[in-house]
Amino acid sequence: MINSVTKVDSVIRAYTNANTTAKPSRTPAKTDHVSISATAQDFRTALEAVSKVSDVREDRVREISERINSGQYNVSSMDIASKILEKSPWRVL
């Protein structure tokens, strides 16, 4: 038993010595640098401004809703058909 303790102790000593003597030299850490172009900054500013604007024209929606509820909103079937054909990829020239 004493023999195995001595072997373990020598292994631990050898491992500790190997770790303390084989440390790599430290080089100064490199830092990354990022620069954003003026165009990208302008784009970000414009994107922020656009994101604050609502996609829905609430005044127009309210106006049409009131007209529908009062029965005053009428769209002709010809107007609907014309718009459908305008947007259709198979429209006749």
Whole-number Å distance between alpha carbons of 72 and 68: 6
Stretch 80-90: mean pLDDT: 86
Chain-wide mean pLDDT for the chain? 82
Query: What would the pLDDT profile of 21-41 be if each residue is shown by its tens digit?
Result: 555 667 778 888 889 999 999
pLDDT over threshold 70, residue 20 = no
* Spatial CB neighbours of 91, under 8 Å, sequence gap ≥ 6: 85
Q: What is the pLDDT of residue 90?
A: 76
| Average pLDDT, integer, range 4-13 | 74
